[in-house]
Copies of this chain bind each other. A is one copy, B any other.
């Protein structure tokens, strides 16, 4: 069997704080910028400074998953990028469907950068029959009633939900029934999903409210 160069320490899922995973994404993004600018190695303190974290935090986060650093040297950027992608599961391509081709949905269909990160949007769906069977940014838009058929047939794994709040739970239920196992929900409503489906909610108004609070209270952000 393929002998990995590095062992990925037992992920032991319940044991890794969600916040660590968030930071891993940020490390990855920063490392990819650094690579593009020609940097080949970086220390935990440099990486931390770029993102506003301490060096100890960076090291602790990484050692949750294995030994990626080189004492006296730091981390090799390329190596660490590969390791983090493996940890996040983005060293392969995920198939994604988008539900709700409104303003936000169209924007996400056109968003460059999902592809490079390992996410390929392979289908879109909309309730409105007039939107169906169009092609937006080379992604086919289907009517909702073909959801089950197409999700199953194209082996779609993840969903992005950009339908109105009133329709979001129904759409989520259908997508899950058809086999989707992870959802990013942009509708401003709390979805309930079975335990074996992963869910992240992104509410644009909520993000503004965080800013409103900290400005109103003259807080220092982050």
A residues apposed to B, CB below 8 Å: 11, 13, 18, 21-22, 24-26, 28-30, 33, 50-52, 87-90, 94, 96, 102-104, 106-108, 110-111, 113-114, 117-119, 157-158, 160, 181-184, 188-190, 193, 195-200, 202-222
Quick check: A197 and B221 within 8 Å, CB to CB?
A: yes
Residue from B21, B26, B181 in contact with A213 in the complex, judged by beta carbons closer than 8 Å:
B21
Quick check: B96 and A103 within 8 Å, CB to CB?
A: no
Q: Using known A-B contacts A103-B110, A107-B104, A217-B13, determine if residue A88 contacts B209 with beta carbons closer than 8 Å.
A: yes
A87 to chain B: which residues have CB within 8 Å?
213
A118 to chain B: which residues have CB within 8 Å?
212
Q: How far is the CA of A166 from the CA of B201 in the complex (A)?
A: 27
**26 pairs, CB–CB < 8 Å, chain A vs chain B:** A21-B209, A22-B206, A25-B209, A26-B190, A29-B203, A50-B190, A88-B216, A89-B213, A89-B216, A90-B209, A108-B204, A111-B204, A113-B204, A114-B204, A114-B205, A114-B208, A117-B209, A158-B212, A184-B207, A193-B221, A197-B221, A198-B210, A198-B220, A199-B221, A199-B222, A202-B202
A206 to chain B: which residues have CB within 8 Å?
22, 25-26, 29
Among A107, A218, A220, max chain B CB count under 10 A is at A107
Residue from B94, B189, B207 in contact with A212 in the complex, judged by beta carbons closer than 8 Å:
B94
A104 to chain B: which residues have CB within 8 Å?
107, 111
| Given A24-B213, A51-B190, 11 other A-B residues pairs in contact with their CB atoms under 8 A | A22-B206, A22-B210, A88-B213, A104-B107, A119-B208, A158-B215, A196-B220, A198-B215, A198-B219, A198-B221, A202-B207
